[in-house]
Every structure is written in structure tokens, then in C-alpha cells.
Amino acid sequence: MKNLLFILLIPLYTILGPSAAFAVTPYITDPDIKIIDNNIIVKTSITSIAGLDEKINSGVGKEIIFTIELMRLWNFWPDEFVVSKKIRNVIKYDNLRNHYLVSSRDGTVRTDIKFTDFDTMKNRIFSVDPLSIANIKELDPGRYYIRVIVESKSRERLPLVGLLMHLLPEVEMSLAKESQPFAVGTAK
């Protein structure tokens, strides 16, 4: 009788009990798009990264990759990829010296910074400073939008052999968000 009662209560607990689905999920803030001196400037960030904080503080190296894409909107046709920029932030916590090592790459420039304060470091790695994505004089008239893709990867490799290495997922978290369309030139 106790076993039957236990079997009946498990599904009830899973329905009514606490769930991880109600936890705060990470999301990308709306891309802030401005046109300054004919350049499309994009600024964005990611918020509510609770699980990632604990992993970084435990010493596991992480890589946060922001991919910012400019897309042209078409009616009755797939959207056209125009240009993209990728920013890679690699984070490693040094337990002995009690500081965070952050290496940021945007394709041409690499910046290495040491942080002692976690919140200052978090503001740096989870946001993209204003970034010029394209010049509107080089674009055809039309409607465009910005797509932001954020991925998180672990820098630690488990010592596995052969095929098992390929079975582990490389990307731990992947988010994407699109901005509202904006007009360039004499687009309708």
C-alpha cells in the first residue's frame, strides 16, 4: 500500500513541486542601435546568468561569444545576411592570486585585463561596448535588422578518449534575439 501511495505521489509532486523552469532564465537585452556619422552602432548585453557565476568562481574557464549580425529584411524571400562581427571573452579565475583574467578579442584587437571585483568583471564580459557594424553609405536602400547571438562554452576539456570527446556538447548556452527593423536609404 505504501509503495502504491508513493508511486501516485511522485507525478503529483512533479506537477505541483518546485521546478527549474520557473528559475530566472538568461536573456539578451534589446540591441541599442544608433546611426552616428553614417555608421550603425550597436550596444547590447546579457543578464540573469546565475549558474555561470558559480562555475567561473569555482575556477572553470569560460568563453562568452557575442555574434552581432546585420540582416536585410525581404518580403516573400529569406532574409539576407550582410555582415557580422564576433566578440570573444575568455574568463579564468585564478584561485591563488584571487583575481579574474579576462581576454577579449574582436577579430583584430586582443585585450587582456585583470579584475579583482566580480561585479566589475561581470559587467565587462556580459556586455558589448558600442560597436560599429557597418556604414549605411555602403548598404543598398532597404529594411534591416540586427541579430545578436550569445554562446557560452567551457574551456575545460575532460580527459576522454576518442569518440566520447565528440559526444559532449561544446556549447553550453546559446541565445539569440533580433531587433526591430529599421530603414536605410529610401526604403519603405
Domain ranges of the chain: 24-155+169-184
- Cell numbers for 30, please give them: 534589446
Give the tens place of pLDDT for each residue, 22-67: 455 777 888 899 999 999 999 999 887 767 777 777 877 888 999 9
Alpha helices of the chain — where are they, by DSSP H?
2-16, 50-57, 118-125, 163-167
What is the rounded distance in angstroms from the CA atom of residue 64 to the CA atom of residue 1?
A: 52
Estimate to the nearest angstrom the gap between the alpha carbon of 186 and the chain centroid: 33
pTM of model > 0.95: no
Give the tens place of pLDDT for each residue, 58-108: 877 888 999 999 999 999 899 999 999 999 999 988 888 888 999 999 888
- What pLDDT shows up at residue 153? 83
Question: Which has more pLDDT, 168 or 133?
Answer: 133
| CATH of region 24-155+169-184, choose from 1.10.10, 2.60.40, 1.20.120, 3.20.20 | 2.60.40
pLDDT of residue 181 exceeding 80, the answer is yes
What is the rounded distance in angstroms from the CA atom of residue 176 to the CA atom of residue 185?
A: 27
pLDDT of residue 188 exceeding 70, the answer is no
- What pLDDT shows up at residue 10? 54
